[in-house]
Amino acid sequence: MFPLLRRGPGRLTRRPARPSGDGTAVLPDVRETPEWNAGPAPGALHLPLSRLMAGAPLPAAVRGRPVITTCRSGHRSQQAARLPARRGVRATDVTGGMTARARADLPVTGRGGSGGVTA
């Protein structure tokens, strides 16, 4: 309603949602283990929302770096991006999540490096 007054993390479309090769951005996938096992984005870090909600410390790979959270559809990742933002981490999330990523024919990695699916 009042976008200029909006606070909190931003949102990205699926295109920029990938870890940075220079080590600046981290892509936490906040889906739970069965979903993660179906297929994450290449280079993603598994960080389930349930752990974040329980107050788990951020992994060393996240500390001091911006994060771009993702999930299956974009709802949990939006919620998850708020948690590191409250801890002073620059955070954003991916609209549409892994489902939008798959529709855009962006890579999803399965076990052993094969093509994965979104679950």
User: pTM of the predicted model, to two decimals?
Assistant: 0.74
Least Cα distance to 76 among 51, 44, 41, 109 occurs for 51
Residue-wise pLDDT for 21-74, tens only, equals 455 888 899 999 998 888 888 888 999 999 999 989 888 888 788 888 889 998
Tell me how far apart the 2 most distant CA atoms of the chain are, in Å: 46
Looking up residue 47, the CATH number of its domain turns out to be 3.40.250.10
Q: What is the pLDDT of residue 48?
A: 95
Residue 116: pLDDT band by 50, 70, 90 thresholds? Answer: low
User: What pLDDT digit, counting tens, does each position of 41-54 carry?
Assistant: 888 899 999 999 99
The pLDDT-based confidence of 20 (bands split at 50, 70, 90) is very low
Give me the DSSP letters along 51-92: HHHTTPPPPTTTTTS-EEEB-SSSHHHHHHHHHHHHTT--EE
91 - beta bridge partners?
67
The residue range of the domain holding 96 is 10-105
Q: Is residue 26 part of a domain?
A: yes
Give the CA radius of gyration of the chain.
14
Number of domains within the chain: 1
